[in-house]
Amino acid sequence: MKYKYVVVGAGLAGLAAAERIAEVLDEEVLVIEKRNHIGGNVYDSYNEEGILIHNYGPHIFHTNDKEVYEYLSQFTPWYHFWHRVLTYVDGNLIPMPITVETVNKMYNLNLSCFEVEEFLEKQAVPMGEIRTSKDVALSKVGEDIYKKIFENYTRKQWGVDPAELDTAVISRIPIRANRDTRYFSDKYQGMPKYGYTKMCENMIRNKKIKILLNTDYKEVIGDLEYDKLIYTGPTDYFYDYKHGKMAYRSLEFQFETYSREEYQEAPVVNYPNDYDFTRITEFKKLTGQEHKKTTILKEFPTGEGEPYYPFPTKEYQQQFKLYQADMEKEEKVVFLGRLAEYRYYNMDGVVRRVLNAFKGGFRG
Ligand code: FAD
Ligand code: UDP
C-alpha cells in the first residue's frame, strides 16, 4: 500500500498533522494508532453513569497562543472557565499556586500584596545559580512553603527529590504577589464544549484521512510505502532502544462515583503530604456538566506503565541527545509531540509544534 504520508499515533500531535496534510495539501494520509481510540491522552468519554471523564487524567486547555487557539476553535466551541486548584496543607484547603491568598491562609495573616512580596523575599533562600527544581522553590518561597507544598508532592509525582529535577518542573507553578488565584494566567482557557474526543473527531472529518486503530505501527509499516513518516510515539521504541530505554513517569487512575452532586470545593485538590495519590479531580467542575451524581479521579504516580511524562532530569536529557543525533539524520521521518521529542509539552505546545513543522514542509 502506498500513502504519501503516514502518521504514527492518533494523539493531538498526530491528528493535527493529519488534518493539515488532508485539508491544506489535499493529500491522503494514514494514521496508525495502537490504542482502540483516537485522541491519545486527551481522550475523554462518558462513564456508565453518563458523566464525562478524562480517561487519562485532567486536561485543561490554556494558551496565550492565539493561532493555536483559533486553529482548535475550528473544531470545537469552548466552555470557558478559569481553572482553580486548592491544596490540602495542615488540615486546611489553600489556593494554589502561591498567591497573597495562599500566604494569608497558610499563616493566618492579613497581609497586603506589597507585604506578601516582602514576606516572600524574607523567606527566600539566597542562591547563586538556580540548577534544580528545589533551587527554584527555595529561592522564591523559602524552606517552609517548599516543605509544605512542593517537596512531598514532587517526590510523590516523580519518585525522586526535587533537587534531582530540572528547573522547568516546579517553574510550571507561578508565584504571584497578587490576588489572582487562577491556576493558569493564560488569555484563553477552557474545555472543548462537547469534549476532547468530539474535537478530535472533528479534526479528522476529511475523507482523505484514514485511521487504523488497535495497531502497533511496527506490525504494518513493512507493508507500506510512504514519502514521509510522521512519528509521535516514543522515540526509544522507534530505534529499538539502541541507546537504552528512556524513563517515563506513569500514573494509575482510580475513578470513583458518588451519589451526591458535589464532592469537593474545587475542580482539583492537591494532596502534597497526605495519601499516596497526588490530586483529586472532580470532572463536573471542569466540564460544567450537570448531573445528580459526581465522578472523581485519584492519580497514583508510578514508574511502570503507560508513558505519560518524560522524565525531566539532566541524566535523561543527556541520554535523549543520543537519540536526537539519530533523529536529525532521518530524511523521511519527522518526530513530533510529547513522546517523540521527550518534552513536557502542554496541549498548546504540541499544536504549535505541529503547525510550525507543517509550515516548514515537515522537514526532518
Ligand atoms: P499522546 O497523546 O501521548 O499521543 C501519542 C499517541 O501515539 C498515543 O495515542 C499512543 O497510543 C500512540 N502510539 C504510541 N506508540 C505507538 C505505536 N508503536 N504504534 C501506534 N501508535 C502508537 N496538557 C495541557 O495543556 N493541559 C493539561 O491540563 C494537561 N494535563 C495533563 C494531565 C496528564 C495526566 C497528562 C499525562 C498530560 C497532560 N497534559 C496536559 C499534556 C497533554 O496530554 C499532551 O501535551 C498531549 O496530549 C500530547 O499529545 P501527543 O500527540 O504528543 O501525545
Ligand atoms: N507541584 C508541587 N505541588 C503542587 C503542584 C505541583 O510540588 O501542589 C510541582 C510538582 O513537581 C509537579 C509540578 O509542580 O510535577 C508541575 O505541576 P503541574 O500542576 O503543572 O503538573 P501536571 O498537571 O503537568 O501534572
pTM of the entire structure? Answer: 0.97
Q: What is the mean pLDDT of residues 206-216?
A: 98
Residues sharing a CB contact under 8 Å with residue 358, sequence separation 6 or more, in sequence order:
17, 20, 21, 24
- Closest-CA residue, ligand 2 atom 20, reads 172
Percent of the chain with pLDDT over 70: 100
Q: What is the mean pLDDT of residues 190-210?
A: 98
pLDDT tens digit sequence for 216-227: 999 999 999 999
- Going by pLDDT thresholds of 50, 70 and 90, the confidence category of residue 299 is very high
Q: What is the mean pLDDT of residues 261-282?
A: 98
The domain 2-81+188-247+310-359 is placed in CATH, from the list 3.40.50.150, 3.30.1370.60, 3.40.1260.10, 3.40.50.720, at 3.40.50.720
> Does residue 232 register a pLDDT over 80?
yes
pLDDT tens digit sequence for 313-326: 999 999 999 999 99
Whether residue 281 has its Cβ less than 6 Å from ligand 1? no
Residues 176, 117: contact at Cβ < 8 Å?
no
Cα(363) to centroid of ligand 2, in Å?
Answer: 34
The pLDDT of residue 364 is 58
> Does residue 252 register a pLDDT over 70?
yes
- Closest-CA residue, ligand 1 atom 19, reads 216
Cα(355) to centroid of ligand 1, in Å?
Answer: 17
> Does residue 363 register a pLDDT over 80?
no
Q: What is the mean pLDDT of residues 260-280?
A: 98
Cα(170) to centroid of ligand 2, in Å?
Answer: 6
* Domain residue ranges of the chain, discontinuous segments joined by +: 2-81+188-247+310-359, 97-171
The pLDDT of residue 1 is 87
Atom number in ligand 1 closest to CA 42: 47
pLDDT tens digit sequence for 69-128: 999 999 999 999 999 999 999 999 999 999 999 999 999 999 999 999 999 999 999 999
Atom number in ligand 1 closest to CA 15: 51
